[in-house]
Amino acid sequence: MDEQQHERQIKDGGFTIPKSGARDDLVIAACASATELAGRIVDCYRRRLAEGRGQAQVRFLDNLEGRFKDSETRIRIDCHIGGSDVFLIQQLLDPVAGAGVNQNYLAFLIAARAFREHGAGRITAVLPYLAYARQDKPTKYTREATTAQLMAELSLAAGIDRLISWAPHSSQIHGFYGAAPIHLLDPQNLFLSEFERFRGREEVIVTAPDAGAAKLATHFSREMDCSCALASKYRPQPENVEISEIIGDFSGKRVAIIIDDMIASGGTIYELAGKLIRTRGIEELYIGVGHNLCLTEARERLEELYRQGPLKALVTTDSVPQTEEFRSLPFVKIHSLNDILCRTINRVHYDRSVSELFLRE
């Protein structure tokens, strides 16, 4: 694209403001569980356009999803979308509405197929929480499907052209989507901003609860100029976690920042927190996670840690709609993804670099 003829940049976030007639075919669509988040993304997009006095338009399509009496999902698009650049948003787990992963994934796949069959020019899936990403390989010595790859193949067969997701469990997801462009948004900058006050402090140690979180925690600790530790865990049974060892130098450390991709039942973080307090002399705990699945077991465990005193704060996002039970907890801080997803959609729409959003000076 000729930048002088078609677009200009505003300084805030590198948001592209097109001149009139330049790619006015942007459509942001939402399945039922993502309607609230998608609405905030659209409001953010339109506000940024207005601030930059842009002439482009963004269409918002919601109310796509319906049900037949036998519970079959129906997707209906009520306007012409031929040639449009469609960003299809779905929150694959919705504990607020009680909509489970399987139901929401199927609705997303049907919606993608509907847009493909009716002429969308390009379909980008926006799945903030990428369900099934944990199943990226069979558990050792078991006979399991690589379900993450299956879901990728189904999404491509349904008609998506690319994927945007937030803090997925494994970067191996890249390989499951073949040649389709994948944008896996990194939560590190969010955590750096939130825990900036701990930068360079000798009494602070960053801790990864398992090998899967080690890379994120290591990069985070380097940026924070803090020490890093790694926990080793195993599961004697599917719902039980034991922390066998914590590797790291805890001399003079009294504050631990636990960094992980998500909290499900909270068992791993609960066991790690207990061991850090009992055996490593940690007095204060701060937790940063990309996703909170809002399970009752996690809330009860976190509340117990807070009542006991060491847990000071949990930082997470609305990649999964957060229940009122979690929103009301005094130690929980929820960051909305509407702005980062708004700017990512803008950059993908105008074929600009997404990674530039995450570069720090």
How many Cα neighbours within 13 Å face the side chain of 254? 3
Tell me, yes or no, whether 53 and 117 share the same domain.
yes
* One domain, residues 270 and 352: no
Q: What is the pLDDT of residue 140?
A: 81
Range of the domain at 55: 3-185+338-358
Q: Does residue 309 sit in the same domain as residue 347?
A: no
Beta bridge partners of 152: none
Q: Structural domain tally of the chain?
A: 2
Same domain, 58 and 97: yes
176 and 228: one domain? Answer: no
Whether residue 349 is found in the same domain as residue 274 = no
Whole-number pLDDT of residue 239: 59
List pLDDT tens digits, range 261-274.
999 999 999 999 99
With 60 as the cut, is the pLDDT of residue 6 above it?
no
Query: Domain check: are 8 and 155 in the same one?
Result: yes
Same domain? For 8 and 104 the reply is: yes
pLDDT for residue 8:
47
Model pLDDT, residue 231? 92
pLDDT at 244: 73
Q: Is residue 233 annotated as a catalytic residue, yes or no?
A: yes
pTM of the model: 0.92
pLDDT at 13 (0 to 100):
58
Domain co-membership, 327 together with 342: no
| Alpha helices, DSSP H, located in the chain | 3-6, 35-51, 101-117, 147-158, 173-176, 188-194, 214-224, 267-279, 296-308, 324-327, 338-349
pLDDT tens for 224-241 read 999 999 998 776 565 566
Top-confidence range, 54-68, 102-116, 244-258: 102-116
What CATH number has the domain bearing residue 9?
Answer: 3.40.50.2020
pLDDT band at residue 23, thresholds of 50, 70 and 90? low
Q: Residue 7: what pLDDT?
A: 44
Do 44 and 169 lie in one domain? The reply is: yes
Same domain, 181 and 192: no
Kindly state whether residues 15 and 160 are assigned to the same domain. yes
The active-site residue out of 140, 233, 275, 333 is 233
